[in-house]
Amino acid sequence: MRTRRQRGLTLFDTILAIVVVAIAVSSVLSIFTVTTAHSSDPMIRQQAQFVAEAYLEEILLKSFYDPDTSSVCPAKEASRSQYDNVCDYNGLNEVPTNQFGAAIAGLGAYNVQVAVTRDNTVTLNGLTNGAAANEIRVLRVDVTVTGPATTSVALSGYRTNYNCNVSTDAGCKGP
């Protein structure tokens, strides 16, 4: 008489299978948790980038000279809605608003800082600032937007004046 062998799983096999499945499930859940926790980071960074681009574009489209005084970087206008030249934006530090000063819904957690400086280290197509004559032909605009979760985006641009001739144009000289 032959004895038949029983088929099936032993207790050890069952416990081993449970352990392997538990490790796999916990790994998948931990990846899911990390992905979910950071899923808004790209959106926050993209929003900060859009805000920085909007401010930089607005600033670079303004006049190099102040239309009121025909000089570079005179005293700042009273409010952002009155800004009429690039230098008026220097030192701007605010929650994002439109160009008339109205707050933009949903951007209260962001902050915009602007610095407009005379950049003597750059040559743009042969155009430089004259150090001795105090000629101002190139202005650098730095826009930094900080947002939630320590997100920070910085963009820089240059506003130039190719028509500046210090010997014939007194407006080329800055303060």
Distance CA 136, CA 46 (A): 34
Distance CA 49, CA 55 (A): 10
End-to-end CA separation in angstroms for the chain: 113
Rounded to two decimals, the pTM is 0.71
CA angle 175, 159, 123 (to 5 degrees): 90
| pLDDT score at 131 | 63
| pLDDT score at 60 | 93
Alpha helices in the chain (DSSP H): 11-37, 41-60
Distance CA 124, CA 138 (A): 8
Distance CA 77, CA 97 (A): 17
Domain boundaries, the chain: 10-39, 40-172
Neighbours of 125 (CB within 10 A): 7
Distance CA 8, CA 117 (A): 79
| pLDDT score at 175 | 43
- The ranges of the chain with pLDDT < 70 are 1-4, 6, 37-40, 130-134, 162-175
Q: Which of 86, 97, 73, 79 is nearest to 145 (CA)?
A: 97
Neighbours of 145 (CB within 10 A): 27
| pLDDT score at 173 | 54
| pLDDT score at 66 | 82
Distance CA 28, CA 21 (A): 11
| pLDDT score at 22 | 95
